[in-house]
Amino acid sequence: MKSSKVILVTYPDDFIINEGKQLILSIPEYEIVKVFTQKYINHSKYGMGSGKAEEIEKFVKETNEIEEIIVDEHLSSKQIYNLEKLIGIPVKDRERLILDIFYTRATTVEAKLQIQLAEIEYEMPRVREHAKLLSNSNERAGKGGMGEYIVDVQFRDLKRQMSFIKEKINDAKIKRNIYQHQRQKTGIPVVSLVGYTSSGKTTLFNLLTNEYKETSSNLFTTLSTTTRSFKVPHNNKNKEREGGVLIVDTVGFISRLPTYMIDAFKSTLEESLGADLILLLIDSAEKIEDMRIKYSNCMDILEELNVDKSKLFTILTKVDKIDTRMINEIVEKLEINSDVIAISSDTGYGIHKLKTLLMRKQFLENKYNENTNLKK
């Protein structure tokens, strides 16, 4: 398959540049030819300084191979229109890129509905703005029946679609709540895996449940929750037993995710928020500063979703790739206040300890005892 050669325009910050590259390379058809950095990407006309826009225009004309420009920030329709008019090739902003990635990853009906909702929320403010752009040019936005402008028809149609999709998502949520209620009756504890995208959630999920869900270094490989059971050792009155636990794999977090996208996926995340224990996974093989930023972003999103912090338990993943003496330094520099355990899903390091500690948590002990009593 022929790759599309693209330019990335982003902020002069290593973390943001690397994340921008990861986003783009999550779509296999893309090949990054060059990265342009701009300290401020919110100038009114182009979304960047005129000098930077002209520099990009010159590069595109000289190379004559660039097919698309991706700006790692929110752009208005007017800014995209101005850039495309200046440079002569398609321009895509960060939000549009994320939506495109979501489309390639969605597998469940609910995930697809949530993406459609996010798509409409992305398009709605642009419909009227696009009509204004047309009216300011030699083109006309046009009228529908009874003197009604087509933009009003489009806007109303989007609102109807939004209402329909919200109803469908709500129906899915009701079904999930019924399922959760039935599950709670069994007394089986629920453990949820959350964390930054590509932190190793699905790899750990596969290891614990003997599943074969797709894993990848690409962002957003998982877009919907999956729940499976697994067994962990349980010590009760000096007798070894095995206690069942349900584990939930969730969509990964990312920095600068627009509020409406968080809202669109909130119904999926709510399943993980109701868990008895939430395992926050952090990739320990990354730079300390990157870990700090990602940990902070995760905590911000969890706070926005009103997660009970007392349920949090931090897991440092991929420790086979670091010197284990760094673990204490990571905990200290990230200022992690919850319990911490270091693991490697590849080598099995710390996995037995994780299973044992899960059942030692008081609420899981109580859940297990309730479940045992129900069976008596």
What does the pLDDT look like over 114-157, one tens digit per residue? 889 989 988 888 777 766 665 555 545 555 554 456 667 778 88
Instruction: Please say if the pLDDT value at position 245 is more than 60.
Output: yes
Cα end-to-end distance, the chain, whole Å: 60
pLDDT band at 275 (very low <50, low <70, confident <90, very high): confident
Radius of gyration, alpha carbons of the chain? 24
pLDDT band at 51 (very low <50, low <70, confident <90, very high): very high
The span from the CA of 120 to the CA of 345, in Å, is: 38
pLDDT band at 21 (very low <50, low <70, confident <90, very high): very high
DSSP reduced 3-state for 350:
coil
pLDDT at position 55? 96
Range of weakest confidence among 25-34, 170-179, 320-329, 360-369: 360-369
On average, the pLDDT of the chain sits at 81
Q: How far is CA 124 from the centre of its chain?
A: 22
* Sign (positive or negative) of CA dihedral 15, 332, 337, 360: positive
Pairing relation of β-strands 190-195 and 277-283? parallel
pLDDT at position 369? 54
Tens of pLDDT, residues 66-90: 999 999 999 988 899 899 999 999 9
The span from the CA of 146 to the CA of 128, in Å, is: 19
Tens of pLDDT, residues 248-272: 887 778 888 887 887 766 666 666 6
